[in-house]
Amino acid sequence: MLIDQAVFSSGQTDRASGYQLLGRSPGIGEADARELAAWGPSHDSLRDAASTAVSFNFHPLPSGAFCIGRTVAAGAEYSGRGRRIYTQSLVIGPSAFSLFANNPFNVLRAAESAGALIAYDQVPAQLAPLRLDAVGTAVDRHLLADLATQFGPAEIGNLLASVLDCPQVAIRGAVDPVQVVAGLMNCLPVVCRAEFSFSTGLRASPQRPFRILAAGENTVERRRLILQLGLTVVDVSENAHAARSEPAAGWAGFVASALAGGKTALLAAELAQPLPALGRTGLDELGDRLRQKLRSDDGPSPSATPESSAAPEPSRDELPNAPPVESRASSQPAQRADGAHPRFQNAERSGAAARAGVLPARVSADQDAAAQELLERLDDVVFGAINGFADALAELAVLWPKAAQTLGPQLAEESREQYLRCALSIWTDYLGDSRNGADRAAAALDVVCLLFEGP
């Protein structure tokens, strides 16, 4: 897909001298161009003085599109007074953004893979749009697990609660602010992510009212954030959060409980659900319901009882939850041969089989990261298509032939079989109660037809 771009930096043009919007691609209108200039960081805007400093930024634009920016120090200002602050902005519309799971870091990763994140010595007034492939998964489970290990589930939950509650939050004490902000994006449902603007390395400024900022250790700066700009400062350093308990309720409480229980698969499935606009109240009510489900699912698995080996094979709707994937080598869970892949093994195994919890990612420990990412992307696109997203079905038509060729016959056929089982589950539910689920059943049929037209 084509993504517009713009560059804001120091330069001398026939229009002006100094920091300005030096170049943009033709698809960026005047209103968005003015906004990009207003939010553009100028001299000394990077909080880190190191030559390798970088800030990733995200905010909405008047047209309804979104700006995903990368700010670096690149050379010297044309006037010679100091280092040149250079911001390259990618401008993406809502429909295209949804193909990246509404995650700015997925867009940045695609641009980096394409070699498109560059700093011109002389910026052309008219820039060409970038051609990017949609990459990344809806939820990076590895990142969430790493953050839970580094900070603890309670601290992640408390930070998330502050981000949801407060108009603007500055995060202090993070060794890697990019990792923390990216983790927060992964803790939000896909449908909510576009509401949370952020910067990982720019100084706070009234002209750039980011919702999430990374703050330094300087006490004077912290007082300015609180007293002058009205930001809420959240300290995530080890000494600050050692004694905190996890949030008791709401969406943040659900995320903390899921991380504490090691149920990142279930969390990922819920985060990827196609939800309507919830608002804060609706999001917290959903979190409370899901937390109750977590508690009800925490009972002992039938496979752990001595009698389980003699018990008859359970029906599809009665399958127990399998143990965490890390313990599969040392245990033999009671599980049908056609059960869902362990990526979603903690997800709900009810008649609502169209949930993300039954979509597979067929990746063993010895497969490379590229194959894993491709399979996870395939899962996300199939899930979106089954839930009626036209963009996802269109992407699947392009992605499936490429994926089948890249993965090889064995993995491609296994993927097709797993998705077929998912579709059959949806149709079983629909035939059992034809008053509900007609749209999902039709969407599942579209997906199956597309998959079996491919290689």
Clarify whether residues 93 and 156 are in a common domain. Answer: no
Asked if 67 and 106 sit in the same domain, the reply is: yes
Q: Does a structural domain hold residue 240?
A: yes
**How far is it, in rounded angstroms, from Cα 325 to Cα 65?**
39
Which of 208-217, 367-376, 445-454 has the lowest average pLDDT? 367-376
Range 271-292 average pLDDT: 83
Interstrand relation of 232-235 and 212-215 (parallel, antiparallel or unpaired): unpaired
Residue 50 shares a structural domain with residue 124: yes
Asked which of 108, 131, 154 is the last residue of a domain, the reply is 131
What is the Cα–Cα distance from 95 to 394, expressed in whole angstroms? Answer: 12
| pTM attached to this predicted model | 0.65
- In this predicted structure, the answer to whether residue 261 has a pLDDT above a threshold of 80 is yes
The first and second tokens of residue 77, run together, are 């200002």
Q: Are residues 62 and 163 in the same domain?
A: no
CB distance 363 to 395 below 8 Å: no
Last residue of a domain, one of 73, 107, 131: 131
Q: pLDDT > 90: what percent of the chain? A: 26
Quick one: which of 144, 181, 162 has its CA closest to 55? 181
- Count the domains in the chain: 3
| Same domain as 145, residue 291 | yes
What is the distance between the alpha carbons of residues 376 and 373, in angstroms, rounded to a whole number?
5
Please, what is the average pLDDT of the chain? 77
Domain that includes residue 394, residue range: 353-455
Asked whether residue 242 is assigned to any structural domain, the reply reads yes
DSSP 217-230: S-HHHHHHHHHTS-
Q: Report if residue 301 sits inside a domain.
A: no
What mean pLDDT is predicted for residues 35-55?
Answer: 89
Helix (H, G, I), strand (E, B) or coil at 107: helix
Residue 305 lies in a domain: no
**Residue 154 tokens, joined:** 């309670």
Q: Note the pLDDT tens digit of each residue in 403-416.
A: 888 888 888 888 88
Q: Quick check: is 317 in a domain?
A: no
If asked whether residues 33 and 118 sit together in one domain, one would say yes
126 and 149 assigned to the same domain: no
Tokens encoding 383: 């899930």
Compare 230 and 37 and report the one with higher pLDDT. 37
In a domain, 430, yes or no: yes
Checking if the pLDDT of 309 tops 80, the result is: no
Range with the largest mean pLDDT of 36-40, 324-328, 349-353, 427-431? 36-40
Asked if residue 186 belongs to a domain, the reply is yes
pLDDT, one tens digit per residue, over 388-401 is 667 778 888 888 88
Q: Which of 40-49, 134-143, 235-244, 404-413 has the lowest mean pLDDT?
A: 235-244
Instruction: Identify the CA nearest to 201 among candidates 21, 60, 74, 49.
Output: 49
Locus of tokens 């489970």? 141
The residue out of 131, 157, 180 marking a domain boundary is 131
CA distance 290 to 292: 5
**Considering the domain boundaries, does residue 39 fall inside one?**
yes
> How far apart (Å, rounded) are the C-alpha atoms in residues 82 and 69?
22
Query: Do both 280 and 152 map to the same domain?
Result: yes
Pair (157, 267) in one structural domain = yes
Contact (CB, 8 A) for 452 and 416: yes
For residues 18 and 108, membership in a common domain is answered with: yes
